[in-house]
């Protein structure tokens, strides 16, 4: 149908293949949706940066953006 975007895909405990080789910006939020931090991965160490962000008990979720254009790519949450 016209106006429909692509279906959302869920990845659990793995990074989407589309992140490979791309600079990704991370925006880190607390439970009140307040921005509490940010990071950028240019070196291919995105998984470590996500894990480091979740090491903080204040981190509720992360938004990943394509760093070059700022386009939203994914929401990242802790696995239960």
Is the separation of the CB atoms in 62 and 74 below 8 Å?
no
**At residue 78, does pLDDT exceed 90?**
no
Asked whether residue 11 is assigned to any structural domain, the reply reads: no
Tell me which residue has tokens 């791309």.
22
Asked whether residue 64 is assigned to any structural domain, the reply reads: yes
In total, how many domains does the chain have? Answer: 1
Asked whether residue 57 is assigned to any structural domain, the reply reads: yes
**At residue 74, does pLDDT exceed 70?**
yes
Asked whether residue 34 is assigned to any structural domain, the reply reads: yes
Domain that holds residue 70: 21-77
- The predicted model scores a pTM of 0.85
Torsion of CA 24, 30, 32, 38, to 10 degrees: -40
**7-11, 35-39, 54-58, 71-75: lowest mean pLDDT where?**
7-11
Asked whether residue 1 is assigned to any structural domain, the reply reads: no
Give the pLDDT confidence of 21-66 residue by residue, as tens digits. Answer: 889 999 999 999 999 999 999 888 999 999 999 999 999 999 999 9
Phi then psi dihedrals of residue 49, to 5 deg: -65, -35
Asked whether residue 70 is assigned to any structural domain, the reply reads: yes
């Amino acid at each position: 149908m016209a106006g429909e975007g692509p279906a959302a895909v869920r990845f659990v405990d793995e990074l989407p293949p589309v992140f490979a080789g791309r600079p990704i910006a991370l925006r880190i939020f607390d439970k009140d949706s307040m921005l509490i931090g940010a990071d950028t991965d240019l070196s291919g160490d995105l998984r470590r940066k996500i894990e480091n962000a979740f090491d903080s008990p204040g981190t509720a979720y992360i938004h990943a953006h394509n760093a070059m254009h700022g386009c939203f790519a994914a929401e990242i949450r802790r696995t239960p």
